[in-house]
Every structure is written in C-alpha cells, then in structure tokens.
Structure 1
C-alpha cells in the first residue's frame, strides 16, 4: 500500500481528545475578552497612559494631522481598531473550527492533512494577534517602544488614570491569546506527526505485497490475465479416482443425471 494522503490513522487520538477541552477552556474567555474590548473599551485609554509616561507615541497624532491638513498618520497596529476587529473575528472563527473539528473527528472525516492545513492557518492568525497586542510603536521617534507598555510593565502605572482594570484586562487577553497559540502549535505538531510516514504505511505495503504475490486472487484478476479460475487453487480429493468438482460441475452432473456421490458409492 503506498503512502495514504487523506485517510490516515490518527496515532495520537488520546492527545486529540485532551486538547479539545483545553481549546474550549481558552476559547470561552477569549470570546468574552475580545467581545467587550470592541470597539474601544480601553485601547485609546492605555495609549494615552503610555504616552504620559513616555512609553509610546501620542494618540493625538490623528487630530494633529486633521488640523494641519496632513495625510493620515501611520498609526501603530497595536492601537488600531483593525486589531480589535481582527481579534473578534478570530475568536468566532476559532469557535466554528472547534465545532467542525469535533463533529468531523467523531465522524472520522478529520483527515490529518486537512488538520495540518487548518492548524497552520490558525497558528498564523494567532501569531498576528499576539504580535499585534504586544506590537511595537515607532510612530514617534522620541518615544520608541518595542513592546506595549501594558505587557512589559506593571499596571500600577494606570492607577492614577483609573485604568488599572483596563490594563489587567489587556494583560489577561494577551495571556489567553498566547495560550491558544500554544494549543494550536501542539495541534499542528500532532497533525504533522501523523502525516509523516510511519510503521503503519510499511506494514500495509508488506501486506499488499504478500497478497499480490500469493495464489489467492479474485475471479476478476484471473479474467484480466486470461486464466481459468474455476478449478484453480483446489486441493485434490482423498481418493485419486474421484474427480474434483465445483458447484458448476455439480449442476452439469445433475442435468446429466450423473450424481458424483451415487456414481462413486453405487
């Protein structure tokens, strides 16, 4: 049997059943956290707090651009609504994929090659989300930032601005996103491991070689090769005077009134 692309046996099924509840445990809070962050629960507030301490650029850069009739500034991805909407869409897609995976896995349609492709796509999407939440801010050369301040620093900086809970929400959202990314990396590793040629492929190949080289073929194989199948592979009778017969031979003898047992013992 050659390498099977789609219908491959899942070698680590217990691990798959373990990862699904873990995905659900991370997805539920992620849906809530991403949902309440839309459209702008704390994004701009944390941006203002960071600028007050010199941790990042000034959120009023957009107003300055409009007031001076300048082009729209290049806002860092971490402070854009695009990231917020992307995270909400990502959580909904994750829910859909988890439900589809559960049903397909039970129905044995969750093929390893399909799982590898989807998990690779989800790893890429969650990598973008993680990068966006902690992403750099180089919009203002005076206040460059490689990592968002609410990730790298304490939330105590936000207390004077009454944004301590908002900072904690942002930290928690980032932590759950990293958790989901780790789970999808594990899923991808399992899928790639199952897709890799293994002992099952070699055993199947040996089985097929044995069946092809043996004498037990189907009638269709003998017809294709132009050989007679009816009397093939039959053992001789115990008595050398008795001719072997098949059900077709028995039918001809019955029509001819020549019953083999009566002829032998009569």
Structure 2
C-alpha cells in the first residue's frame, strides 16, 4: 500500500459516542411525531387555517381549478408525500441506528464505513427539510415562497386550542428533522477528519507493514517440512530399502528369537519338530555366551542384491558366505 492507508481509529471517539446517545431520543421522537401525523391528522387543517389568514393557498383552490378544467398540482408541503416520506426515513434511520450502535460496540464501525452511511442519511434529511419548507404558488393572490406559516410564525396567533396544538406538533416535527440533519452532518465531518491520517498514524502504519514484510521473509527463508518432489521421495524410499538390516542382540530370559515367514525358525514353529528344513533359508538365533557375532558387510549386502554371495547364519551367531 505504500504511504497510502485507511485509518481505522476515530480521532474523537468520545464525540461519536455522545452523538450516538443523543441520536436515539430524536430518532424515536421523529417516529412518534410523524407516526401520529400520518396519514392526515392535521396537514389539511393547517392548510385551511393558513388559507383563511392569507398565508398560503386554500384547499378549495384545487377544487375550483379542477371544476374549471384547470387542474393544478397540490403543493408538496401540503401533500401526503410530506408526512409519509418523513415517516419512512424515520424507520430507515432507526434501522441504521441499531446497526451502527452494534457495530460500534463490536469495534467495527470504522470511519470509512461511517462516512458513506451518514452521507446517505444526511441526504435523506436534506430532502425532508426541503419538502417541509417547499413553496406554495398555486394561488396567485396568496403566494408563499418560504416555509409554511406554522414554521415561520408563532402558534400563539391561533385562538383555537386544537389547531394551536397541531401547529406546535408540526413545528416540533420540523425541529427534530433539523437536529437529525445536524447530527448526521457532524458524523460526516468527524469521519472525514478521522480518515485524514496524522504523522504518528503514518509512522505506526509503516512500522506495522515493515514487521509484516519481515515475518513473510522469515517464513519464506525457513526450510519446509516437505521440500522434496515426488521423484525425490521415491528415490529416498528406494535407498532406504537398500540399507542392510542389522541383526538384533537382545538376550535374557523370556526373550524370543525374531522370526519371519519362510525361514527355518518359522517353519519349525509352524510344523513342529518334524518340519521340513529347506536349504539356504535364513534365520537368526541369539548368540552363544562368549561367541563373537559376525555381521555381513555392506559390500556383501549389496552383492547379495546382485545375486552373488549370500550370508547364512549357523545359529551360533556366526555368518558364512555361500
């Protein structure tokens, strides 16, 4: 990677922790406020109240236009899209909130993951604020180019207690949306700030990379347990088979003479005392006390494989070439 790397540590981790704690009540408040307002608890009521006071168009404007075959589009600020959209993104934000809190507790919420996530969520809330403050221009006599009256004005101007309560609720919903956008913008700034590596982080990264390279070189230089090819292994096994077998010298009570099939000792054991003794059959008996044991030299062992001299033991620990 050279000098380029992606930091995984947050530079202001305590601020991120505080933002996550603060985000939970506002996410719940957003769900509650827009859930209560859905589908149309007070949207048309506030639209009508603003039309009576000349702050915006009136719902009857749409009916009159349709009756005169001049259909107009309902302003987005008074449409059902306003309420439903904010309710949907509230559900989406709650899902991602639970996901990122879990990732934070597991120490896998790296800045590189947080940055695109909060950019997307901030974009959703930016659209939400635009929808809630969209202009109302369908009535030429009552044009509103800014935010609706329940946001721009004080709710105390309304005498009716019920409508005043709806005004306060709509104003609170807008305030929650603004706070959510600010918190996500803070997440974006902190993630970008954490992704910019410091000099200490660069040195630590280079040191870690050097250690990894040294470890790889160490393993590359170390001998392997199985470096021989298949042909070399076969040659090695063949050479092991050519080595002469050294007779054993174990003695003592209870020790038995090693026997192999097709030897004189094995035939005697299998057939009894009257078993037929085949000539030139090798067997080995423990050496007599004081007798000197004679072994075939590697040369004779090799000659034996070539069909030359053979060594036969006489049962007293001596061998003779035949």
TM-score where L is the length of structure 1: 0.75
User: Is the counterpart of residue 109 in structure 1 residue 140 in structure 2?
Assistant: no
Structure 1 residues 200, 92: CA separation in 2 closer, same or farther (over 3 Å shift)? farther
Q: Match for residue 164 of structure 2? A: 164
Of the two structures, which has the highest relative contact order with CA contacts closer than 8 Å and spacing of 6 or more? 1
Q: Secondary structure at the match of 1:193?
A: helix
Name the CA distance, whole Å, in 1 between partners of 2:141 and 2:123.
Answer: 32
Counterpart contact for 2:56–2:136, Cα < 8 Å: yes
Q: Match for residue 251 of structure 2? A: none
User: Is the counterpart of residue 219 in structure 1 residue 218 in structure 2?
Assistant: yes
User: Is the counterpart of residue 129 in structure 1 residue 150 in structure 2?
Assistant: no
Q: Match for residue 77 of structure 2? A: 78
Name the CA distance, whole Å, in 2 between partners of 1:127 and 1:88.
Answer: 14
Counterpart contact for 1:3–1:197, Cα < 8 Å: no
- 1:218-256 deviations in whole A, cap 9, x for unaligned? 333447xxxx99xxxxxxxxxxxxxxxxxxxxxxxxxxx
Deviation at 1:111, TM superposition (A): 2.3
Please list, as runs of the form range in 1=range in 2, the aligned pairs for 1:1-266 lying within 5 A after superposition.
2-5=3-6, 8-71=8-71, 73-145=72-144, 146-160=146-160, 162-207=162-207, 211=211, 218-222=217-221
Counterpart contact for 1:134–1:147, Cα < 8 Å: yes
Deviation at 1:63, TM superposition (A): 1.6
Gaps of at least 5 residues in structure 2 are 225-322
Deviation at 1:205, TM superposition (A): 4.5
Name the CA distance, whole Å, in 2 between partners of 1:27 and 1:209.
Answer: 42
Structure with greater Cα Rg: 2
Gaps of at least 5 residues in structure 1 are 230-266
- 1:174-216 deviations in whole A, cap 9, x for unaligned? 11111111111111111111122323442134415765898x8
Name the CA distance, whole Å, in 2 between partners of 1:54 and 1:119.
Answer: 39
How many residues were matched structurally? 222
Structure 1 residues 205, 98: CA separation in 2 closer, same or farther (over 3 Å shift)? closer
Structure 1 residues 15, 163: CA separation in 2 closer, same or farther (over 3 Å shift)? same
TM-score where L is the length of structure 2: 0.63
Counterpart contact for 1:49–1:161, Cα < 8 Å: no
Q: Secondary structure at the match of 1:44?
A: helix
Name the CA distance, whole Å, in 2 between partners of 1:189 and 1:44.
Answer: 38
Q: Secondary structure at the match of 2:57?
A: coil
Q: RMSD of the TM alignment (CA)?
A: 2.5
